[in-house]
Structure 1
Amino acid sequence: MGFFRGGRGGGRSGRDHGSAGRSDDARDPDDDLTDDELRSQVRALLSRELGQGVVLEPDDVPAPVTVARILEWLQTNEFSYFVDSDGDLGGLWRGRLFYFFLFGDEAEILQVRGQWNREISIERLPEVLEACNEWNADRIWPKAYVRVRDNGMVHVISEVATDLERGVTDAQLAQLLHCGLSTGSMFFDAIDELYPDPAAAAP
């Protein structure tokens, strides 16, 4: 149907970043190094290339993602937020509801989930699904999908999830949170174009 036209910024590159051609026996010796040993190697490499000692700042060292770190990012950027009755952290961005979840056995999976600020009737479900599928085929972020509520109304959802088992620096966390909010807002803007709100236009 061609819902979304124009450039594909942030789309799939089509490159295969897998380990094709590498057998299980051809292991990288770095696989057995500890984090401290790898960090020491990085310092030595940078020192050799730059001709000076390099010290990693605390913010440059990956650490586990926590609700406290997400809260700190929200407060630093002066974003309004709330904690609902279930203890989930969320906020409104450009009139859309976003939540920040941590999943996994070690709460290592960060998910930024957004919800479009309007509902769609069940009769339009096939065309909304087609729009979501087209978005997902052309773009990496966010994952777009719908949920049908018990009352038969359809909610449009955006989602950006990242496995942070190895930790994340402050700069990386900020980038991931911003990615979840900004790309989710871009998707909802596209849905707004498909279904303009008559009440938002002057009579």
Structure 2
Amino acid sequence: MSDTDQDHRDFRADDLGAAVPDMVLRRLTRHRLMDALEASDIVYTVDRDREISSRWDAGRIWFEVTGKDGNLLSVTGCWDGWLPDYRRDELLEACNAWNERMFFPNAYVIVDGDGDERVFANHTVDYAFGVTDEQLYQHITTAVAVTNSLFDQLREQFPEALEH
């Protein structure tokens, strides 16, 4: 049946209720974030600055409820590797290639306090209208998996960056 067909008698709006799971949008909170991390079997720490983070093979990932109204969930990773500043263009090219291929996380290069080039990755979603437990779980597990894929790719491309 095409969109122009007049016969839509088989479709009823009340039939949608049976097809859509009963999920409730609730406000994003740090406690819900930590519950979702635990449900995902992600081991995390909360430091004295109240930052929530998790250690992985090639980097650290932070989980932050942020924004003016506390409705943004930001998952930010920092790759353990670092390269001297004269290799900046290589890292930028690697990040740009990643960003062309992948929707998230966004990969970018930052110069640290020692003048070394570091790669960060970020995936932030606005949950102004709330988030289900399932969506929160999906955001966290997907962001962690894809961020770790970026870190693995960087490790393969720049093995010397982790030898320091």
Does TM, normalized by the shorter one, top 0.5? Answer: yes
Pair 1:62–1:196, CA change in 2 (3 A): same
Query: Which residue in the other structure is 1:129 paired with?
Result: 92
Structure 1 length as normaliser, TM-score?
Answer: 0.68
Are 1:143 and 2:101 an aligned pair?
no
Are 1:184 and 2:131 an aligned pair?
no
Q: State the AA in 1 paired with 2:74.
A: Q
Give 1:74-93 correspondences, 5 Å limit. 74-93=37-56
Shift of 1:166: 0.6
Pair 1:123–1:67, CA change in 2 (3 A): same
1:165-191 deviation per Cα after TM superposition (whole angstroms, max 9, x unaligned): 011100011111112101101111111
Structure 2 spans left out of the alignment, 5+ residues: 1-11
Are 1:68 and 2:34 an aligned pair?
no
Query: Which residue in the other structure is 1:49 paired with?
Result: 15
One of 147, 159, 162 as aligned partner of 1:196: 159
Query: Which residue in the other structure is 1:156 paired with?
Result: 119
Larger Rg: 1
What secondary structure sits across from 1:78 in the alignment? Answer: coil
> CA separation in 2, counterparts of 1:134 and 1:72?
34
Question: Higher strand fraction: Structure 1 or Structure 2?
Answer: 2
Once the two structures are aligned, what percentage of the paired residues are identical? 30
Structure 2 length as normaliser, TM-score?
Answer: 0.83
Q: CA RMSD in A?
A: 2.3
Preserved contact between residue 52 and residue 64 of structure 2 (Cα < 8 Å):
yes
Q: How many residues align?
A: 152
Structure 1 spans left out of the alignment, 5+ residues: 1-43
> CA separation in 1, counterparts of 2:135 and 2:152?
25
Q: State the AA in 1 paired with 2:148.
A: S
What secondary structure sits across from 1:162 in the alignment? Answer: strand
> CA separation in 2, counterparts of 1:102 and 1:199?
30
Pair 1:198–1:122, CA change in 2 (3 A): closer
1:130-166 deviation per Cα after TM superposition (whole angstroms, max 9, x unaligned): 1111211221011000110121111111111101101
